[in-house]
Structure 1
Amino acid sequence: MRFQTQIIAIILFLSIFGFGCSNSKDSDLASQLGLGNPVITEIDPPSGSPPIGTTVGTTVTIKGRLFSADTSLTTVKFNGVSASVLSATSTEIVTVVPAGASTGTLFVTKDGPVICDANNGDSATNCYGRTFYIDCYKSFDNLYGEELGVSYPDSKTFQITGQTGTKALRIDLNPDGPTNVKIACETYLIYSKFSKTCGRTDVGTFGDTSTWVFEPTLTFSSYYTVQMFVTAGKGDCTVSFP
């Protein structure tokens, strides 16, 4: 009876510790072989700009695990737009924000059948996603100082202190529908606005005062964070939502 008890104890010990070690080794081996879904743990920086004019897109480093180390088998998409993969290891991918990218999910995929899920649910296969934010102002290296944030429906006033000056704006629109944005300065003004993909539209020319406008109201049909440059003469300017 005593001998049988010892045998049972040994079997229990092996089942708890022996098989546990085996599973751990299997897991480590799978990781070394790059098996399983890729996982993103960090995106550096978490926001960036596509190319604007002569400025190239932001270089982005994606860190994680279970990536493919073969650049030809690795894909990166910024909200559906494919990006170039500059280098890849099992834990790090270097890429560049491509033209046409907008704020949304950045997906990393590798070779094999691919199913992507922005929430990384059980159905995801060889794919992992994480939010990446497009920031057009990054291409300008803080040229006009810190951006002024304005959020619907609250108006905000800023001041031009020199004879003329330019202010960078970041305006959060109404998420529930079209938004009118009015920019009222004490003088005529010119402005540049950026689309979701950082396409730039300039209204007015600095050297031609006949092209300057007074208290323009801009209408945006869909929600996003609008980035703008406003150049005006000395005095106060107010951004509001009429």
Structure 2
Amino acid sequence: MSSVTPQIGTPRQNNDNGVYPPTQVVIKGSNFGIDTVVRFNETQAAISANLGTELYTSVPDGVYSGYITVSKAGGSCIAGTASGINCAGTEFFIDCYDATGKQYGSETEIKQGDSKGIVYSGIETKAFRTDVIFGSANLTISCDSIVTVRLFNRSCVATDYILQRDPTIPLPDGYSSQFYVTAGSATCTLKI
């Protein structure tokens, strides 16, 4: 494997605000052979075309950030790594927001232990991400407006918290979360 394009993508998303197809991925290299296997972490991906020096695939449902690997006949890759016998790989990142064309502008990062004041003008949606959460943590929102929150799990499946007043939402341990917050004209404080 010499390259993977792109190295950031998403599985299929079917959320209330849109349907987004899985990211198409091209893997370049040599001598892929006919029994080549592509995996995103431990999930095998279908190969739509094998041209010997290029493999075409897409991000399968349920995958999360980790490694994309290619193994040839008789080979195997060690789970959670990019190494093994007749195996090559590289890191691959799942980004739930990128698939939307960043329709709500740039994501704002909120680190664990921090808070941010966010100004909303009219009814507006803004995109956020956390750093990697360690231990138990909550997203706490204080706002003069009722808010709706869409929280994505690490495989881009969304959970909606609709029309909430000052919600406290548990965040999963061990990875970065992405979420949207919709509010009316107000200044909202988001704390993790």
How many angstroms does 1:65 deviate by? 3.4
* Matched residue count: 187
Note if 1:146 corresponds to 2:106.
yes
Note if 1:45 corresponds to 2:9.
no
Determine if contact 2:68/2:90 at 8 Å carries over to the other structure: yes
How many angstroms does 1:150 deviate by? 1.5
- In structure 2, the partner of 1:60 is 25
How many angstroms does 1:89 deviate by? 3.0
Determine if contact 2:142/2:189 at 8 Å carries over to the other structure: yes
Q: Once superposed, what is the RMSD of the aligned Cα atoms?
A: 1.8
- In structure 1, the partner of 2:69 is 107
Identity %: 33
Instruction: Tell me the distance in 1 between the aligned counterparts of 2:75 and 2:7.
Output: 28
How many angstroms does 1:237 deviate by? 1.9
- In structure 1, the partner of 2:42 is 80
Greater helix fraction, Structure 1 or Structure 2:
1
How many angstroms does 1:119 deviate by? 4.9
Once the two structures are superposed, residues 19-40 of structure 1 have per-residue CA deviations (whole angstroms, 9 ceiling, x without a partner) of xxxxxxxxxxxxxxxxxxxxx3
Instruction: Tell me the distance in 2 between the aligned counterparts of 1:116 and 1:169.
Output: 33
- Does the C-alpha gap of structure 1 residues 115 and 77 become closer, same or farther in structure 2, counting only changes over 3 Å? closer
- In structure 2, the partner of 1:91 is 53
Determine if contact 2:67/2:82 at 8 Å carries over to the other structure: no
Whichever of the two has the greater Rg, that structure is 1
How many angstroms does 1:199 deviate by? 0.9
- In structure 2, the partner of 1:16 is none
Determine if contact 1:116/1:128 at 8 Å carries over to the other structure: no
Note if 1:183 corresponds to 2:141.
yes
**Secondary structure of 1:142's match?**
coil
Q: How do 1:1-20 residues align onto structure 2 when only pairs under 5 Å count?
A: none
Gaps of 5+ in 2: none
Instruction: Tell me the distance in 2 between the aligned counterparts of 1:115 and 1:45.
Output: 21
Greater strand fraction, Structure 1 or Structure 2:
2
- In structure 1, the partner of 2:171 is 220
Instruction: Tell me the distance in 2 between the aligned counterparts of 1:119 and 1:76.
Output: 12
- In structure 1, the partner of 2:93 is 133
- In structure 2, the partner of 1:202 is 160
How many angstroms does 1:85 deviate by? 0.8
**Secondary structure of 2:74's match?**
coil
Instruction: Tell me the distance in 2 between the aligned counterparts of 1:119 and 1:113.
Output: 12
Identify which of structures 1 and 2 has the higher relative contact order when contacts are C-alpha pairs closer than 8 Å and 6+ apart: 2
How many angstroms does 1:78 deviate by? 1.0
How many angstroms does 1:217 deviate by? 1.2
Instruction: Tell me the distance in 2 between the aligned counterparts of 1:168 and 1:133.
Output: 18
